[in-house]
């Protein structure tokens, strides 16, 4: 349902309104981004606080931004997951669009990292498992976020992590192999090499962004830093990331291997989806005895006590699947091959067998 909203102004800007349509009481400003301002409000009908994302006034005439704003609402509204911010409503008044969303009491991950300098290893793992769960759900729903960064990850007061801002998300069905774009959407500090070169996004593109976020959570700094977007793009494309343990020696070697794998330049060398990355991290967490700290809704795999086996599991079972296919093919071959001699032997037992004359 789309609600009709009347904005009663007490100043020249719509975000200075006291009420929206007599239903949403504006309580304050939460932040601002490239497309919109985010307001804290109270839904007077349902008696709950909400966050309202209001398109910037100077973008009212920009058709492209209007379309992206609507795309975000539609994309997020179809994603119902505990690690994704819930969208309640979308509306337009005086050509200015707004999205009504779940209000998360807490902070964003970027602010948390700045406040802490860096996160503890177990805390970073727990949060990244939750982030991977939310992003993985979006991947299963056929969406690539394309703009994952700590600013778009909200951390609630109870520790729950929620993904937001699907403004430039792409439907997998709309992405064609080999597509190229002269306009690169996303944040240069976090986008993948294929994004930097104008290539088509994929779930592995989001996985790379998760790797940058994870690196930042564990070390307190970005793997690549430069003064402009073009220089950053070149670093993502060609420069190997520093080893996380060279910045934070408390990072276990196997965890460092996971981070570096996720930051591979080639998409095929990373985990193919966020779900797969999350499963590897859950295995590692259970090995560290962190099972109690993991989200209850996420199944905990059996611990892997052999570090080499854990490192091998980071290949997502691709080799295991291939060997399984080879084994099945061999069994089929042996079954068919074994039946032929049996059939010949049975045929030759009878005088009427067409092969008996040979």
Catalytic machinery residues: 147
**Taking the mean position of all CA atoms in its chain, how far away is CA 7?**
35
Phi, psi (deg, nearest 5) at residue 221:
-145, 165
Residues near 65 by Cβ (< 8 Å), separated by ≥ 6? 35, 55, 59
Inter-axis angle of helices 274-287 and 121-140, nearest 10: 150
Would you tell me how many other CB atoms lie within 10 Å of the CB of residue 243? 15
Query: What is d(CA 95, CA 7) in angstroms, rounded to the nearest whole number?
Result: 12
For the record, the structure tokens of 43 come out as: 């839904």
* Region label for 338, one of left (φ > 0), alpha (ψ between -120 and 50) or beta (otherwise): alpha
Question: Can you tell me the distance from the alpha carbon of 204 to that of 266, in angstroms, rounded to the nearest whole number?
Answer: 9
Give dist(CA 303, CA 313) in Å, integer. Answer: 12
Taking the CB of residue 233, how many other CB atoms lie within 10 A of it? 20
């Amino acid at each position: 349902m789309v609600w009709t909203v009347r904005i009663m102004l007490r100043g020249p800007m719509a975000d200075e309104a006291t009420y929206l349509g007599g239903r949403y009481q504006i309580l304050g400003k939460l932040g601002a981004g490239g497309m919109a301002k985010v307001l804290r409000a109270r839904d007077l009908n349902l008696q709950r606080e909400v966050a309202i994302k209001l398109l910037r006034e100077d973008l009212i005439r920009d058709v492209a931004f209007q379309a992206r704003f609507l795309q975000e609402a539609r994309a997020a509204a179809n994603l119902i997951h505990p690690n994704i911010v819930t969208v309640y409503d979308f509306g337009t008044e005086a050509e200015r669009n707004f999205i009504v969303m779940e209000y998360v009491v807490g902070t964003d991950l970027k602010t948390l990292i700045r406040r802490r300098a860096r996160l503890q290893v177990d805390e970073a793992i727990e949060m990244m498992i939750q982030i991977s769960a939310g992003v993985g759900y979006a991947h299963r729903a056929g969406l690539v976020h394309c703009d994952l960064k700590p600013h778009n990850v909200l951390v609630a007061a109870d520790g729950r992590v929620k993904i937001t801002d699907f403004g430039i998300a792409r439907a997998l069905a709309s992405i064609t192999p080999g597509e190229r774009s002269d306009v690169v959407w996303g944040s240069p500090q976090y986008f993948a090499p294929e994004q930097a070169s104008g290539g088509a996004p994929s779930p592995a593109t989001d996985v790379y962004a998760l790797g940058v976020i994870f690196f930042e959570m564990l070390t307190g700094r970005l793997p690549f830093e430069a003064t402009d977007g073009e220089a950053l793009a070149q670093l993502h494309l060609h420069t190997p990331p520093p080893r996380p343990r060279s910045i934070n020696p408390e990072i276990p070697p196997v965890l460092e291997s996971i981070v570096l794998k996720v930051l591979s330049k080639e998409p095929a060398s990373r985990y193919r989806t966020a779900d797969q990355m999350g499963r590897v991290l859950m295995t590692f967490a259970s090995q560290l005895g962190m099972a109690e700290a993991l989200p209850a809704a996420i199944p905990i795999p059996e611990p892997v006590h052999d570090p080499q086996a854990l490192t091998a599991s980071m290949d997502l079972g691709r080799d295991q699947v291939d060997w399984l296919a080879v084994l099945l093919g061999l069994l089929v071959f042996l079954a068919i091959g074994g039946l032929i001699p049996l059939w010949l032997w049975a045929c030759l037992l009878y005088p009427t067998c067409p092969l008996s004359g040979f």
